[in-house]
């Protein structure tokens, strides 16, 4: 656990995953390499669904969460425009042992990487008739599909680079489906911060995150030891591919295209009855 900055104020709790894209993004912020306006952060690294549940419990001041979850935590959290994962060609994949028809999965047992992940939301939007879900940590899904514990699974993160080694077949690219169906890039996960921190602090965190991403882009070798310390079971090639896939200009700032994509995802989820309606503003006040 690290604390950045030298300010004596109580540090803010900051949650993100040990995945290479997150450790790449947060390295400069955690290590005090960018101006954080005197704010300090205590890091907590957990898998995405654990972070989602911590945010549901309002246990973290700032946290990476699935965009799906934002629809459930809007009374307490606001979405920052920087530090997230959103793009094209980077969506979750539905895989199986055999080449099944993805439109005929009713009655099949499907593993999902957490109830509140965007991957789970996308599959439910793709086919609302599917109901037989098993929720597993993302790194256990390929094994469960391979050994027949489930009929199919939705994989995320670095699994999209390694599923073939398990003898699995891609049935559907949920990100490609989303892009073709909506025209929007696929929103995966973003950074949520407690509304109670106030506008000035929220803007300072957002700006510091932007600078942290910019610092990583400018000095890509510098975060490497920190990234590898949290991804020891991942090959260097997969680690680099992971960062290249999930960190892009949207990570610097969502911009109007990214904001519209997130808003539309939540609108679709609300219309489908998957998340409750909310009148709370979604984004950090500017």
Q: Please list the active-site residues.
A: 157
Evaluate the CA torsion angle 188, 190, 195, 199 in order and state its sign: negative
Look-up of token digits 């939301």: 121
- CA 152 to the chain's CA centroid: 21
Is 118 known as a binding-site position? yes
Quick one: CA torsion of 152, 156, 158, 161, rounded to 10 degrees? 50
Is 244 known as a binding-site position? no
Whole-number Å distance between alpha carbons of 187 and 87: 7
Look-up of token digits 């439910």: 124
Is 64 known as a binding-site position? yes
Is 66 known as a binding-site position? yes
Token pair, residue 180, equals: 């073709």
Please state at what angle helix 118-126 crosses helix 255-271, rounded to 10 degrees: 60
- Report the 3 state secondary structure along 68-127: HHHHHHCCCEEECCCCCEEECCCCCEEEECCCCCCCCCCCCCEEECCCCCHHHHHHHHHC
Strand 85-87 relative to strand 186-194, pairing: antiparallel
Is 284 known as a binding-site position? no
Say whether 153 sits in a helix, a strand or coil: strand
Helix (H) or strand (E) holding 152: strand 152-155
User: Which residues sit in the known binding site for substrate?
Assistant: 64-66, 118-119
User: Which residues sit in the known binding site?
Assistant: 64-66, 118-119
């Amino acid at each position: 656990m690290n604390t950045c900055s030298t300010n004596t104020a109580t540090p803010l709790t900051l949650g993100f995953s040990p995945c290479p894209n997150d450790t790449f993004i947060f390295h400069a912020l955690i290590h005090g390499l960018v101006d954080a306006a005197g704010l300090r952060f205590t890091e907590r690294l957990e898998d995405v669904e654990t972070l989602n549940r911590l945010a549901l419990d309002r246990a973290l001041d700032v946290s990476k969460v699935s965009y799906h979850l934002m629809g459930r935590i809007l009374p307490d959290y606001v979405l920052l425009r920087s530090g997230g994962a959103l793009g094209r060609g980077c969506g979750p994949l539905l895989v199986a042992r055999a080449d099944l028809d993805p439109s005929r999965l009713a009655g099949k047992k499907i593993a999902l990487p957490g109830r509140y992940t965007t991957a789970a939301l996308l599959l439910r939007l793709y086919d609302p008739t599917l109901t037989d879900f098993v929720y597993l940590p993302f790194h256990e899904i390929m094994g469960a599909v391979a050994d027949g514990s489930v009929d199919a699974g939705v994989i995320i993160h670095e699994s999209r680079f390694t599923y073939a080694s398990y003898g699995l077949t891609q049935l559907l690219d949920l990100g490609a489906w989303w892009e073709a169906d909506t025209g929007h890039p696929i929103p995966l996960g973003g950074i949520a911060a407690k509304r109670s921190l106030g506008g000035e602090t929220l803007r300072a965190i957002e700006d510091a995150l932007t600078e942290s991403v910019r610092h990583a882009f400018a000095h890509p070798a510098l975060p490497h030891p920190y990234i590898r310390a949290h991804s020891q079971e991942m090959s260097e090639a997969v680690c680099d591919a992971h960062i290249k896939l999930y960190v892009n200009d949207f990570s610097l700032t969502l911009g109007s295209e990214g904001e519209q994509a997130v808003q539309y995802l939540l609108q679709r989820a609300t219309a489908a009855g998957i998340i409750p309606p909310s009148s709370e503003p979604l984004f950090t006040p500017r």
